[in-house]
């Protein structure tokens, strides 16, 4: 075990305390006021220049050492999910219906561990920017911070991120150059018909039947339009219509999660959703409105930066603890928007054989805290020599 990993392992109980505090007090997207204040108070106590309220509830902690001109950004997410967790233990969420079932508490605690070490050793030459970002779960926090001048107010040459991942071997780091996570487009389709009594369907224009047909028709996009070598997903995760069995409602609403792994595939899929929706609506005689969410983005890792990150991890942990290339995922990450502005890389740390993120039984593995924190420190020391 390297000296750096030994040093961060000695701080594991402190990092665990920070994570458990955040886990007990989860806040969902753009409501992370107390979380941000908690993190900011710690960082100010260690000598960082902290700027709050960037992108609503985001913050950046900045520290410079020596005369180096280079600057690096490290990002952790802070938001929780609207999920009622089912874990037991002293750090269980105290807020009903909200929980850190994606591990963002662990991501923030790892970055805090690195921040604490860097502040006390000052063993780097340049500027480090610690980005604690809100609202990753709704793909809104990165965009909000960028629009609020993140890269203009806090110049940085490169930016890096990390996420835990169940099913990957615990404590190992996984790096993949190029496309690593999919773009997501969250859309809503509203079909408007004509309501009626359930006993007289002939007097109605039924949006439920139209919606049911549309759900099935949308499934043909991937199976019959997307090439087998490409990847896409069209999920209708919610179908909202009426609330009584004897009433044909006026409207039906479909909520979609559309994922794609390449820009050209994304355009094909979105165009097909629009076309099929219009054709299905016309065939059933219902009106339709598509409410398009923020444009999705594929997360693409810079090849040069990714190779350097993997080398840093190997020097820290040993070759057997680093996997490159690692897996790719159809899940999405708003770190993709940072990667459109700055070179960098986004890696995964294995959470072991645990329930998947977003599952009510998921919990971040505290044994990963010193590993992730040590990787962040090693990366800073490598980049800011």
pLDDT in tens, 88-108: 888 999 999 999 999 999 999
Residues of the chain with pLDDT under 70: 1
Residue spans of the domains in the chain: they are: 3-181+298-383, 183-292
Radius of gyration of the chain (CA): 23
Buried b (16+ CB within 10 A) or exposed e, 162-198: bbbbbebebbbbbbbbebbbbbbbbbebbbbbebbee
Fold of 183-292: Alpha-Beta Plaits (3.30.70)
Q: How far is it, in rounded angstroms, from Cα 65 to Cα 366?
A: 30
What is the length of the chain? 385
- Residue 137 labelled as part of a binding site: yes
Q: 256 φ, ψ to 5°?
A: -115, 145
Q: How far is it, in rounded angstroms, from Cα 154 to Cα 172?
A: 31
Q: Is there a contact between 106 and 357 (Cβ–Cβ < 8 Å)? A: no
- Residue 104 labelled as part of a binding site: yes
Instruction: Assign domain 3-181+298-383 to a CATH class.
Output: alpha beta
The confidence score (pLDDT) of residue 345 equals 98
Q: 281 φ, ψ to 5°?
A: -60, -45
The confidence score (pLDDT) of residue 46 equals 98
- Residue 359 labelled as part of a binding site: no
The confidence score (pLDDT) of residue 105 equals 98
The confidence score (pLDDT) of residue 294 equals 86
Q: How far is it, in rounded angstroms, from Cα 252 to Cα 250?
A: 7
What tokens were used for 9? 């392992």
């Amino acid at each position: 075990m390297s000296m750096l990993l030994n040093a961060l392992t000695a701080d594991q109980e402190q990092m665990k305390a920070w994570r458990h505090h955040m886990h007990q007090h989860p806040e969902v997207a753009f409501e992370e006021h107390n979380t941000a204040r908690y993190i900011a108070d710690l960082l100010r106590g260690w000598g960082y220049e902290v700027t709050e309220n960037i992108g609503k509830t985001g913050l950046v902690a900045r520290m410079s050492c020596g005369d180096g001109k280079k600057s690096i950004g490290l990002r952790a997410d802070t938001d929780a999910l609207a999920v009622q967790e089912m874990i037991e233990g002293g750090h269980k969420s105290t807020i009903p219906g909200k929980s850190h079932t994606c591990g963002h508490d662990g991501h923030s605690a790892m970055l805090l561990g690195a921040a604490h070490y860097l502040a006390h050793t000052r063993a780097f030459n340049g500027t480090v920017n610690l980005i604690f970002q809100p609202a990753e779960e709704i793909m809104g926090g990165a965009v909000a911070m960028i629009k609020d001048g993140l890269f203009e107010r806090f110049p940085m040459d490169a930016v890096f991120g990390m996420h835990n991942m169940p099913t990957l071997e615990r404590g190992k780091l996984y790096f993949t150059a190029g496309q690593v996570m999919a773009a997501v487009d969250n859309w809503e389709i509203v079909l408007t018909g004509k309501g009626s009594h359930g006993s007289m369907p002939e007097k109605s224009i039924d949006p439920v039947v139209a919606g049911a047909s549309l759900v099935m028709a949308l499934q043909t996009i991937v199976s019959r339009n997307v090439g087998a070598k490409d990847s896409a997903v069209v999920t209708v995760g919610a179908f909202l219509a009426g609330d009584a069995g004897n009433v044909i409602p006026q409207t039906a609403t479909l909520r979609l999660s559309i994922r794609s792994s390449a820009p050209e595939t994304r355009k094909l899929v979105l165009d097909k959703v629009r076309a099929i929706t219009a054709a299905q609506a016309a065939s059933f005689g219902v009106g339709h409105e598509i409410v398009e969410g923020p444009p999705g983005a594929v997360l693409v890792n810079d090849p040069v930066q990714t190779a350097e990150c993997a080398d840093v991890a190997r020097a820290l942990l040993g070759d057997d603890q680093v996997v490159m290339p690692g897996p790719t995922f159809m899940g999405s990450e708003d770190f993709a928007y940072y990667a459109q502005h700055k070179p960098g890389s986004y890696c995964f740390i294995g959470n072991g054989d645990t329930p998947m993120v977003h599952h009510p039984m998921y919990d971040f593995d505290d044994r990963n805290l010193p590993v992730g924190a040590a990787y962040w420190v090693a990366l800073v020391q490598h980049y800011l020599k």
